[in-house]
Structure 1
Amino acid sequence: MTLDTFSPNIAAIIDGINWHNLKENEAHRLRSFGFEEGASIYVRHRGILFWRDPIVVQIGRMTIALRAKTARHIMLRPAENQDIGHG
């Protein structure tokens, strides 16, 4: 499942990122925020507009807003421990 379709209020693990489909500056930005395979992520909020932008996620101690067109390149799986991201 990709981040742009993942439901809010669910903890997840990043399974992979299609780096080659992202612009270089966007890929660099995601890497600097800690987006990498195996990282824990928590989907906080999705926009209510047609495009569902922005998608707000917590990764580590940071809260980040992403566009759906970027989030569609990030593959997730539900985390076994749903407590990540709370607190």
Structure 2
Amino acid sequence: HTPGGVVFHLPMEKALLSGDTLFKGGPGATGRKYSDFDVIIESLRNVIFHLPPATRVLPGHGEETTVGEEAAHIDEYVKRGY
């Protein structure tokens, strides 16, 4: 959610350390003055959601989820704008 932010894919662990980029229920911290919702959505669509659906998403806060669970809701995230 910040310029230069990264996520870490651990293929051997079948996990993604997503920090604040992706939470259970959508992208994170998109309303900050330094955040760019469109960039986050682009990263989700073009990078993260191309990972295997069973990849565990371990966010910086809250419950874990999977890439497949969150990818299924991308249109909802875009529509609500956060």
TM-score when scaled to structure 2? 0.28
Q: Which has the higher contact order (CA 8 A, sep 6+)?
A: 1
TM-score, with length taken from structure 1: 0.27
Structure with the higher strand share, 1 or 2? 1
